Structure 1
Amino acid sequence: MSENNQLRDVFGAIADQTRRRLIQLLAEAKELPLHELTSQFQMGRTAISKHLTILKEAGLVLDRKVGRETRFRLNASPLREIYDWLAIYSKFWSADLLRLSQSLEEEEE
């Protein structure tokens, strides 16, 4: 897979609100079994499994079998690509925050 396809996969994987919530849950816990992840949503096991498959294909989630149970954990390293991409735009946020700070100081005087 080329680097561009990898970026598309990671960006596409986090585009969905359910998948972002799964990432958050896995970031807060070391490892979670499928039934615990499923209990956090108003959808069935099959739907959650499909979301986890997309996250796995993007390299964001790793799984392992423990007996009859599948446990999932976060692999956050692909998120670095998103962080790096967003860092390019941080200068715009910094400038906006500086202008806001200056405006607030002027209002206080």
Structure 2
Amino acid sequence: MVSEDRPADTLASVFRFATELVAWMATPWALSSYSPPLAVLAAVVLIALPTIFATPGDKRKVIVAVPGYVTILLVVLHVVAAVAAAWAAWHAVVAAVVSVLAVVTVVLELPRWRWLVKR
């Protein structure tokens, strides 16, 4: 069950998910020319980590409970992966849009991160 004292973050959730999707697409794309198995592994890791590890009260279903800072680190991992892979794999205009998406995501995530730090 999601904690009631958790900040409402519908808009932040949309941007966070969009950033995750970009990371899931761009990272394997950027790595595929170097190593297709590494590209697949990167996609699996980026998708599996936040699915398996969660902070109690942040998600309804928690498989492996972790402190809030771990959840924050997982979001940061996705943001960094999205931006770095977009710049490595895609046209500069698209990468710039991804960078703006990442900045907006981080700004919108700050209230949730403040809440997660206390967990």
Q: Structure 1-normalised TM-score?
A: 0.31
Query: Which structure: greater helix fraction?
Result: 2
Query: Which structure: greater strand fraction?
Result: 1
Specify the structure having the higher radius of gyration (Cα).
1
Q: Structure 2-normalised TM-score?
A: 0.30
Greater relative CO (CA pairs within 8 A, separation 6+): 2
